Structure 1
């Protein structure tokens, strides 16, 4: 199958904003994909090469990409860079360079999807001495045989800046439509494996029956079960049917641990493999989790010298560190607090009630230095739960989680079977979808950001406010650098941003508003932090904004 066919699909997707049309286009394309490519193509359609949980990455920046295109075309690097200043889009500039191609290959042959993918795999595997040279030659090899349009989308895939508007929800619906299977079964299989390539293959070759039999797999992370917010312990107890398991809500980073003998993989909340950055945690898991094969969940907390928890951003610093890890282990010690068991030695536990899952977790975990079970209290007493809540806050934790004792584990679901209890209205994790250039000394910075919540029904993002405060000049410089490659349109000082970057936002209150299509607006929103642990579809939903608005209004009534 030729890569030009995929490039044609990208172009058609770019030209429509209608979700139904995009879904149909992707479904029609998937039906044409041969069996041997069906596990590859879904990720390419998303503008990726590998799943988020796959450790492999291309590791190619704009500079190396431009150098490879210059090598392939004979167009100078400076000419390509000058073109970017005009187009504002490196993909378009590479397309123009390929139109002017001065280098001719005697052995030129049409690009196939298989060849592009195999070259990208080789790029990701290049390491050690002269690895950049090997990456350069591999990329130049692909661009040498690429047509102009193919070059535009190859560049965007390499840089992770595809702008076709295809998100996970749309791909799920397209797989269902392409292979005449139930969307809910595609969703279930994806929630259990986080692997659209695998799910597409099962849907194509085995249909509904195959999708129904999909099970969790060690080495493929499960989408985490999520929680809503409660106004307090009394509401939580009512929702839980009178008795609940209350756990300390740690201010850390949620992790999912997969163990298969001596192999341990740790995934972040965003399902990225962070194993290499936390070797001491891996050793503790090997020593203290007494199961040959297991999937367990917990919260990784950074601990200060006084033994109190530090903000979760310290854990993210550990996740990002690739070098001098021993030094970081001393600077930012971590503690793992395990709270759930999803799989133990051949036994799947997600259909088992929480009460039994917790017992199984307690059976296989031997607490020790840096690894323990999340502190819990099972009670039907609001007074007892309130005391536990105050003690958690006194110790420096965020609050409590309340969980139904009979609740099964529902991957990816945000229901009322798990509730968060915090002393303030919850901050929101929102996606930047627009920005405005600043004035005066901030004229070169994008200084005000339009933020949006995710609408899962539409598979799109709906705005809820503009954030302009809480940023330092360093923050603005960092965000401007991150967002410039994601600018899709410019209208005077305002720009439209491809939804990729998630930020945490605090606010005074949520108001009803006719100004935004979401129907809501944040009053006095303020930037808190960059959520590098979240992708755009992990952002808070508009349903959550609506629930927080109702919660806010009920608290006013009290």
Structure 2
């Protein structure tokens, strides 16, 4: 299948903001794919990716290497391409211009196919060892030699992961259901169990509803995590849980999903990114602590001080980001794993098993030690006992408690009331950065005020909820500017519009109703807390979530 056919889809998607039209375009394209094996690849290319987030392969190509490859392919000086980027504000557009003006073309040029593009990108991702950068450069230059200007533009965007066509997971799910005439809830279920759109698309085409209904959990493919809502206090949680609940400590760490298959262990972050290589000591401890041959468990990875008290979760994220000198980081930031659920064990799917049974199985398969153990918990009907446990958790330096229905099944990807969070303050929000402003004076040359957005499923897009400018250090702003500059879509004077890719955590005094913003809400006195590298835009809070927190806030103020 020719790559230019996929490029035509990209162009159509970019020209419309209508979700229904985008869904139809993607659906029609998926219908046209004849080879089932190609369907394993195309959904991710449509999303502007090469691999699922949980795949540990990375292209490892930045802007400079990309420009160098285009220079090799066209004979145009790298500096000239860089200058063009300053004018266009879009590397993809500048590469298209360079390809249009190319000074050389291969006599053996052949049209690009999707298979060739994908296989070449796989070679780039898997290149390692001495001379790997040169090989990556050669592979990439060969693609650009045969690429048309439009193909080069979207190839560059794919390599950098900034496609800008407005296709998110929900839209792709709906398009798959429409293309293969299968039930959208079965597509959703299959994706939640495997986190693999390529696999789901192939099953939908070949086996329809019947095949999708049979999709099972697979060790090595992460499951979308079940989420929780807020409760005002332990009494409210007990009422919601039917009078009795399991309370467990809510640790201030990073949620992880651990997959063990024999001697192979894979660990995924909350965003389902593979973080295995960054925490080798946890991998070795898991091999010893988990008894089953094949098992999937969930837990909270906590950075601890010498005294055993927890450190803020940002310390765990520092471990996730580290690719070099890992042994040094093991000493500096020791990690403790507190397990709280089991989803699969030796061929048995556990997600439809009531929570209390899952908890018993979890405790039976863990050889607890200093570093890996079951999360501390309490099962009670007594508000007084639960309250005492809550204060114990806070005294130990943790965030609060989780409350869980004893009979609750595990619902991948769902945020329901079967699990509730109890914390002493309003919950921080994870929001997407939609825009920014160039600073003045001391902050001249850096982006210093950021427009924040939440996802609106009705509109199928992110909508603004306010701006944040406080809480940043000067070093933060320098790093943010470096990170956000490649994501700039448009500039209007001091203001820039950004590709919605970066998620940050913000605290705030309260949520207010507001006609000013399209979301209908505004944050009062928002303050930057942390960059959430463990979350993608699809994990950010939604407008519906803001509405729920607004109602929760009003209850706390006594306005029931």
Q: Which residue of 2 aligns with 1:29?
A: 29
1:98 equivalenced with 2:117 (yes/no): no
Q: Which residue of 1 aligns with 2:72?
A: 71
After superposition, give the CA deviation of every residue in 1:437-456 in whole Å (9 maximum; x if it has no partner): 12222221111111011223
C-alpha distance in structure 1 between counterparts of 2:424 and 2:452, whole Å: 25
Task: Please list every run of 5 or more consecutive structure 1 residues that lacks an aligned counterpart in the other structure.
Answer: none
After superposition, give the CA deviation of every residue in 1:225-249 in whole Å (9 maximum; x if it has no partner): 0001110001100110000000000
What SS does structure 2 have at the residue aligned with 1:146?
coil
1:423 equivalenced with 2:424 (yes/no): yes
C-alpha distance in structure 1 between counterparts of 2:522 and 2:458, whole Å: 20
C-alpha distance in structure 2 between counterparts of 1:36 and 1:110, whole Å: 20
What SS does structure 2 have at the residue aligned with 1:255?
strand
C-alpha distance in structure 2 between counterparts of 1:544 and 1:356, whole Å: 30
C-alpha distance in structure 1 between counterparts of 2:351 and 2:336, whole Å: 25
Q: Which residue of 1 aligns with 2:499?
A: 498
Task: Please list every run of 5 or more consecutive structure 2 residues that lacks an aligned counterpart in the other structure.
Answer: none
Q: Which residue of 2 aligns with 1:551?
A: 552
What SS does structure 2 have at the residue aligned with 1:84?
helix
C-alpha distance in structure 1 between counterparts of 2:373 and 2:456, whole Å: 37
- Aligned ranges for residues 386-397 of structure 1 at < 5 Å? 386-397=387-398
Q: Which residue of 2 aligns with 1:177?
A: 178
Q: Which residue of 2 aligns with 1:263?
A: 264
Structure 1 residue ranges (4+ consecutive) displaced by more than 2 angstroms after TM superposition:
455-459
C-alpha distance in structure 1 between counterparts of 2:18 and 2:136, whole Å: 37
Q: Which residue of 2 aligns with 1:246?
A: 247
- Aligned ranges for residues 532-543 of structure 1 at < 5 Å? 532-543=533-544
C-alpha distance in structure 1 between counterparts of 2:449 and 2:221, whole Å: 38
- Aligned ranges for residues 156-555 of structure 1 at < 5 Å? 156-555=157-556
- 1:543 shift after superposition: 1.3
- 1:284 shift after superposition: 1.1
C-alpha distance in structure 2 between counterparts of 1:248 and 1:44, whole Å: 40
After superposition, give the CA deviation of every residue in 1:479-530 in whole Å (9 maximum; x if it has no partner): 1111111111222221111110000000011000011111110001110110
- Aligned ranges for residues 34-49 of structure 1 at < 5 Å? 34=34, 35-49=36-50
After superposition, give the CA deviation of every residue in 1:287-315 in whole Å (9 maximum; x if it has no partner): 11110100000000001011100000111
C-alpha distance in structure 1 between counterparts of 2:444 and 2:336, whole Å: 43
- 1:353 shift after superposition: 0.4
- 1:125 shift after superposition: 0.7
Paired positions, count:
558
Q: Which residue of 2 aligns with 1:122?
A: 123
In terms of mean alpha carbon deviation, does 321-330 or 352-361 score higher?
Answer: 321-330
- Contact 2:89–2:490 under 8 Å retained in 1: no
What SS does structure 1 have at the residue aligned with 2:557?
helix
C-alpha distance in structure 1 between counterparts of 2:458 and 2:340, whole Å: 31
Give the TM-score normalised by the residue count of structure 1: 0.99
After superposition, give the CA deviation of every residue in 1:412-432 in whole Å (9 maximum; x if it has no partner): 000000000000001001000
1:143 equivalenced with 2:144 (yes/no): yes
What SS does structure 2 have at the residue aligned with 1:310?
coil
C-alpha distance in structure 2 between counterparts of 1:447 and 1:311, whole Å: 25
After superposition, give the CA deviation of every residue in 1:111-149 in whole Å (9 maximum; x if it has no partner): 000000000000001111111100000000000000000
What SS does structure 2 have at the residue aligned with 1:557?
coil
- Contact 2:37–2:202 under 8 Å retained in 1: no
C-alpha distance in structure 2 between counterparts of 1:66 and 1:487, whole Å: 18
What SS does structure 2 have at the residue aligned with 1:309?
coil
C-alpha distance in structure 2 between counterparts of 1:78 and 1:314, whole Å: 39
- 1:434 shift after superposition: 1.1
After superposition, give the CA deviation of every residue in 1:148-192 in whole Å (9 maximum; x if it has no partner): 000000000011111000000000001011111111111100000
Q: Which residue of 1 aligns with 2:12?
A: 12
- Contact 2:403–2:422 under 8 Å retained in 1: yes
- 1:457 shift after superposition: 3.9
Give the TM-score normalised by the residue count of structure 2: 0.99
C-alpha distance in structure 1 between counterparts of 2:62 and 2:17, whole Å: 29
C-alpha distance in structure 1 between counterparts of 2:305 and 2:376, whole Å: 19
- Contact 2:438–2:447 under 8 Å retained in 1: yes
C-alpha distance in structure 1 between counterparts of 2:513 and 2:442, whole Å: 34
- 1:279 shift after superposition: 1.2
